[in-house]
Amino acid sequence: MRKFLIDTDTASDDAVALIMAYQWSDIDVVAVTVVNGNVSVEQGTKNALYTLEVCNASTPVYIGCGQPILRQHAYADWFHGSDGMGNMHYPEPTLKPQSEHAVDKIIDTIRQYPNEITLVTLGPLTNIAVALLRAPDIAPLVKRCVIMGGAANTVGNVTPAAEYNIWVDPEAAKIVFHSGMNMEMVGWELSRHDAALSVTEIEKINQFSNKRASLAIDSNRTAIEASINIQGASGLTLADPVAMVVALDPKIVTHQGKYFVDVETQSKLTRGATIVDELGVLKKTPNMNVIWSINVSRWKEHLYNCLQ
């Protein structure tokens, strides 16, 4: 069994990513840690616990950092709804979070399982950055760190230059990107274009008629509208599940490469931009495996299999 530690700001697409991890046969999710991002850390924790209940899972959930390292928080209710779950306002989960802080759990878990943990980050990188600042020794102990974040030399989704997770806490992202971990950047653009779910594909999932499928589509009601009306997408973009599928099935990647990647923290115009030195003009040592493309039909096939 492969050991996953999932750090999430649980909103609607995070919920789908969590479902995929729990439906994958050889994955043991050893902990779920929650960070402030799409919604408050308290709401994100509630959403994570509710999703785990739908999955009949009992993985311990830990509450993490409630705000970015230096910035004011900026929620994504315009995309995910006021509750992060498409304004479905699901009932209070019966599961409860653990008392230990998420940062402590991240450090302890990586030390407990050296070179075994795949760290999947689905939200701003605040929890991970704080853990690395407190315990830099954990960086080389992480087997893989799959980051849903950034935009590889392309358009952003919260500003023209930046993807939301990186933009929210760019200082945290910069710390993580320069930590020396074995990292993979799965930019939001991989969920666009053909990777977005069409109306027909959404209806196909609806017809599965089970709790997982219902949660996946219902919680993304506002995300579907925002994807089409604000982002000009052909359907529902699911950035977190795309990152999760890269973590689950590395063979889905069709083009990737190692590059030096940095994060802009000073400019108001390009705050949070992920600068990929694609041509090596900076002559700096590569620090990130950038995922440029995936097998889109295989991504959707995996999604259907996990929701059936």
Distances, alpha carbon 154 to alpha carbons 47, 60, 101, 159, 186, in Å? 31, 37, 35, 11, 13
Alpha helices, DSSP H, located in 158-263: 164-168, 170-177, 199-206, 211-218, 221-229, 239-248
Is 26 an annotated catalytic residue? no
Per the listing, tokens 């407990």 go with 112
Task: Identify which of 32, 22, 30, 58 has the alpha carbon closest to the alpha carbon of residue 121.
Answer: 32
C-alpha span between 239 and 121 (Å, rounded) = 12
Report yes or no: 41 and 123 within 8 Å, Cβ to Cβ.
Answer: no
C-beta of residue 260 within 8 angstroms of C-beta of residue 287: yes
Q: CB under 8 Å to 92, separation ≥6 — which residues?
A: 46
Query: From the candidates 9, 14, 83, 169, which is the catalytic residue?
Result: 9
In this structure, how many other beta carbons lie within 10 angstroms of the beta carbon of residue 251? 9
What's the one-letter identity of residue 275?
I
Closest among 72, 24, 18, 69 to 45, alpha carbons compared = 18
Active site residues: 9
